[in-house]
Amino acid sequence: MPRFILLLLGSLLSTSGWSHEAAQTPMDNGVLRQAQIGPEGSVQLLLSKPALKTAGLEIAHLTLPSGSGKKCTEKPCPGHQHPADEIFYVISGRLEHIVDGVSQVAEPGMLAFAPKNKTVVHNVLSAEPLEVLVIWSTAGEFDRLIHHYGWPETQPGSRSNDVGKE
């Protein structure tokens, strides 16, 4: 991971009251919880409130299949909002990130930012899946999203395409 991201995470954790002891709880491959997004996508919660002394900050690993998103002809394209600031760090793939009608394309190594309560649309532009690290400024986004979209929780460490196989 580029040094900038490590410095950013260190800064966020030091100002959020991160507890090293709480972060030592056993987890499978560093994943606290995981949910499936369709047949090929997933969201893995990496850091949340139990490891923090404050209610702020959640970090997740998000994988979306190629072609995911709202390809719409309506202007403005209807999107969604978060009650928290949202930062995407692109690991692989290409993301079109539209905030209040303004489009930005983010590629590996780039950040995309959506302030809280702004309308945002995410489109995967690459032929390969999009893989991002997402940081929310307020804990609770993982739960809010899985309940809103009905994403089923899966066993941490399982791959989306392994769900339901025995």
pLDDT tens column, 24-50? 344 445 688 899 988 888 999 888 866
Mean per-residue pLDDT over the chain, rounded: 77
For residues 44 and 157, give the distance between their C-alpha atoms in angstroms, rounded to a whole number.
Answer: 9
Q: Residue 2 has what DSSP assignment?
A: -
Token code pair at residue 145: 């999203």
- Report DSSP letters for 71-117, one per residue: ---SSSPP-B--SS-EEEEEEES-EEEEETTEEEEE-TT-EEEE-TT
Residues belonging to the chain: 166
CB 33 within 8 A of CB 153: yes
Q: From 2.60.120.10, 2.40.30.10, 3.30.70.20, 3.40.30.10, which CATH number describes the 3-159 domain?
A: 2.60.120.10
pTM, two decimal places: 0.74
Sorted by sequence, the CB contacts under 8 Å of residue 149 that are 6+ apart come out as: 37
Backbone phi, then psi, for 63, in 5-degree steps? Answer: -125, 125
Residues paired with residue 44 on neighbouring β-strands, in sequence order: 34, 61
Confidence band, pLDDT 50/70/90 cuts, at residue 133: very high
Q: How confident is the model at residue 149 (pLDDT cuts 50, 70, 90)?
A: confident
